[in-house]
């Protein structure tokens, strides 16, 4: 799968990002990571909020590469693009995020209470590590946006 394949299939469109756009996404990540520490937040909400922070980090990578995901299945497609952009170095992150994407779908659309507190905490720890990896990648590959 190449960027051209994704363009031809209508899964992505060309997009010119900016420091401002990436800083806005960073602000969403900071907000979400603060929100996961709110007292009384359910495990479902903690998990889905942390997942959203990870998704925004992945969107930053796609934007740096000059694309924006579009159409049905945007979360899954963002993960495909993430792996295309960053290669094997994110394979384990992509596998984990894809499992989390599925759990998030259940928590958001189908049933409450299926996410355990341990899963939510694992997601929070994961997103902090993943976000650091993305920021390091941006600084190394697109320093104008770092």
pLDDT at residue 81 in the model: 97
Domain residue ranges in the chain: 3-138
Beta strands in 15-130 (DSSP E): 67-69
Tell me the angle at which helices 43-64 and 91-105 cross, rounded to the nearest 10 degrees.
130
Reported as a pLDDT band with limits 50, 70 and 90, residue 140 is: very high
pLDDT at residue 44 in the model: 96
Q: Of all residues in the chain, what percent are helix, strand and coil, respectively (each to 5)?
A: 75, 5, 20
Place of tokens 């937040």: 41
Which H or E run includes 45? Answer: helix 43-64
Q: Which residues pair with residue 69 across a beta bridge?
A: 12
Q: pLDDT tens digits for 45-93? A: 999 999 999 999 999 999 999 999 998 899 999 999 999 999 998 999 9
For the question of whether the overall pTM of this predicted structure is more than 0.75, the answer is: yes
Reported as a pLDDT band with limits 50, 70 and 90, residue 146 is: confident
Q: pLDDT tens digits for 96-130? A: 999 999 999 889 898 999 999 999 999 999 999 99
Q: Is 133 exposed, middle or buried (0-12, 13-18, 19+ CB in 10 A)?
A: middle
- Domain at 3-138: CATH architecture: Up-down Bundle (1.20)
pLDDT at residue 108 in the model: 85
Reported as a pLDDT band with limits 50, 70 and 90, residue 1 is: confident
């Amino acid at each position: 799968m190449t960027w051209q394949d994704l363009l031809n299939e209508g899964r992505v469109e060309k997009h010119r990002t900016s420091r401002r756009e990436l800083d806005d996404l960073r602000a969403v990540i900071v907000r979400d990571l603060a929100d996961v520490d709110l007292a009384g937040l359910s495990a479902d909400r903690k998990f889905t909020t942390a997942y959203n922070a990870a998704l925004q980090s992945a969107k930053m990578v796609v934007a740096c590469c000059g694309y924006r995901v579009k159409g049905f299945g945007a979360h899954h497609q963002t993960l495909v693009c993430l792996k295309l952009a960053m290669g094997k170095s994110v394979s384990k992150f992509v596998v984990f995020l894809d499992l989390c994407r599925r759990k998030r779908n259940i928590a958001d659309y189908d049933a409450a209470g299926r996410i355990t507190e341990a899963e939510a905490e694992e997601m929070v720890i994961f997103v902090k590590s993943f976000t650091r990896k993305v920021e390091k990648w941006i600084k190394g590959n697109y320093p104008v946006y770092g």
